[in-house]
Amino acid sequence: MPAAGTHDDTAEPPVVEVRRSRRRARTVSAWREGGRTIVAIPARFTRAQEREWVGRMVERLAAQERRRRPSDAQLVARATELSRRYLAGRAVPTSVRWSSNQGRRWGSCTPAEGTIRISDRVQGMPRWVLDYVLLHELAHLLQPGHGEAFWAEIASYPHTQRARGFLEGYAFARDGAEDGDVPDEPVDDDTDTPVDGLRVDGLQVDGL
């Protein structure tokens, strides 16, 4: 696996990588990893089954992303609502956009310009996780660092710990022990941890 942060979305075409697993008997899974789509299948699958299930899972993943992926406009609307509800409307970004160029970050904020970018790796995550990432970046419009004042800004958001646990778990599920040194606290500007996009999982394939 290439190191996170070195991935260049403009450099490679979309790739589907098939992983055969002897431990995988009854399920097929698919997820995004960097610019690739990974489809994990049982080792016993024939080539025909592989073709069928890769096509099915890629379509399923895309459909789920379409359902769960808010547009840039929806992102702006959500940010406005979160600022109103948790920050008394004090955080007023000039733009809020999805970005495929966030490296290891979940999101970033440029306070001088009032711009917020959210990694498209967050697309497809539960709403309360996206809300946390958005609110986190909104709060940076008010507080640049991660000191007490920063956390105080978002203290009224009820799902912070759960969302941070989700994001860490997501990164761990992908990188495992390789990435065990990821700090709990972002070191710089949200250098949290990398994450996969969406995972379609647990599909039973026996008897189909």
Tell me the C-alpha distance between 43 and 39, whole Å.
12
Match 């993943």 to its residue by tokens.
61
Which lies closer to Zn ion via its Cβ, residue 55 or residue 145?
145
State in angstroms the smallest separation of the CB of 61 from Zn ion. Answer: 29
Are residues 24 and 43 in contact, defined by beta-carbon separation less than 8 angstroms?
yes
Helix (H) or strand (E) holding 50: helix 47-68
Q: What are the counts of helices (DSSP H) followed by strands (DSSP E) for the chain?
A: 5, 7
State in angstroms the smallest separation of the CB of 129 from Zn ion. Answer: 15
Which lies closer to Zn ion via its Cβ, residue 33 or residue 190?
190
State in angstroms the smallest separation of the CB of 149 from Zn ion. Answer: 12
Which lies closer to Zn ion via its Cβ, residue 131 or residue 190?
190
Tell me the C-alpha distance between 36 and 64, whole Å.
16
State in angstroms the smallest separation of the CB of 140 from Zn ion. Answer: 6
Instruction: Name the H helices within 69-200.
Output: 72-86, 127-140, 148-153, 160-175
CA-closest candidate to residue 201, choices 32, 43, 44: 32
Which lies closer to Zn ion via its Cβ, residue 39 or residue 118?
118
What residue number has its CB nearest to Zn ion? 190
Question: Site residues (CB under 5 A) for Zn ion?
Answer: 190
State in angstroms the smallest separation of the CB of 39 from Zn ion. Answer: 33
Q: Which neighbouring-strand residues pair with 151?
A: none
Which lies closer to Zn ion via its Cβ, residue 50 or residue 168?
168
